[in-house]
Amino acid sequence: MSHYPVAGTWTSCPACGRHVHQSQWGRWQQCPYCHYWRRLPAVDRITQLVDPGSFTALTTTVQSQNRLDFPNYDEKLRQAKLKTAQTEAVITGQATFAKWPAIVIVMDSYFMMGTLNTSVTRLIIAAMQQARKQKLPVIIVTASGGARMQEGLYALVGMNLILAEVARLAAAKLPLITVLTDPTMGGVSASFAFKGDVVIAEAGATIGFAGARVIQQTMPTTLPADFQSAASLLAHGQLDAVVLRPELRAYLSQVLATYQLSGGPTHG
């Protein structure tokens, strides 16, 4: 486990504020006091989800550029790379889930809040193209604040480019499974996050478009306490399931098994 948000042995829980010892967070990274699920770095998410040793990263290389000359963007990129030891806010690769193979795309909220930019778009598209080449299902784990404002329109275009690729997956009869984790917001929720054939969310995730605070400032009404929660979205028919973190792997294996056993890519 990499634990890159952790500086020392003790960290305060972002939800309840209690001091929690490293060992208390445990394997699933859950607060022992308020049961908050801590946001996972992409590498830890992959470790939790896939069969041990089965992950092979795709070799697409990207180099993000400050094309709009946005103030401090270069520095923010540098810091994010340093913190995560990644070149961008997503990790892509191939892995198995209880022996069932899939292409895996995992966004990382610790890299500039998992925001979608030209490089992240390119990595996601390359992974989906690989899926078509190998006739494999795609699993995307979203964790993103939305489009990266430092890349303006270039970032927004990524929403459509990815949706076009999602359509090609559908035409090839390859299933897309999206796993919405905390947070899934903005341009990511407004594009591919809900475009899966199966759309599930991790329990406790906040999922929406604009943040609750922004909405509250522009609306004269009080928002419900469960606003933008995974449970509320499930109740309103937006999700197929809300799954607890320790059960995600088994759930995804089940979906992949159902797909393969029903005939795989040749199945109508």
Interface residues toward Zn ion, by CB under 5 A: 13, 15-16, 31, 33-34, 36
Nearest distance in Å: CB 25, Zn ion: 10
Nearest distance in Å: CB 196, Zn ion: 30
Residues in the chain: 268
Between 231 and 241, name the residue whose CB sits nearer to Zn ion.
231
Distance CA 68, CA 151 (A): 6
Burial of 198-237, coded b for 16+ CB within 10 Å and e otherwise, reads bbbbbbbbbbbeebeeeeeeeeeeeeeeeebbbebbbeee
Distance CA 196, CA 255 (A): 12
Between 19 and 99, name the residue whose CB sits nearer to Zn ion.
19
Sheet containing 176-184: give its strands across. 56-57, 90-97, 100-107, 138-144, 176-184, 198-202, 241-243
Distance CA 151, CA 145 (A): 14
* 179 touches 140 (CB < 8 A): yes
Between 36 and 97, name the residue whose CB sits nearer to Zn ion.
36
Between 36 and 110, name the residue whose CB sits nearer to Zn ion.
36
Nearest distance in Å: CB 16, Zn ion: 3
Nearest distance in Å: CB 134, Zn ion: 41
Name the β-bridge partners of 92: 105
Between 11 and 94, name the residue whose CB sits nearer to Zn ion.
11
Between 196 and 204, name the residue whose CB sits nearer to Zn ion.
204
User: Given the structure tokens 């990815």, which residue do they identify?
Assistant: 162
Nearest distance in Å: CB 184, Zn ion: 21
Nearest distance in Å: CB 226, Zn ion: 18
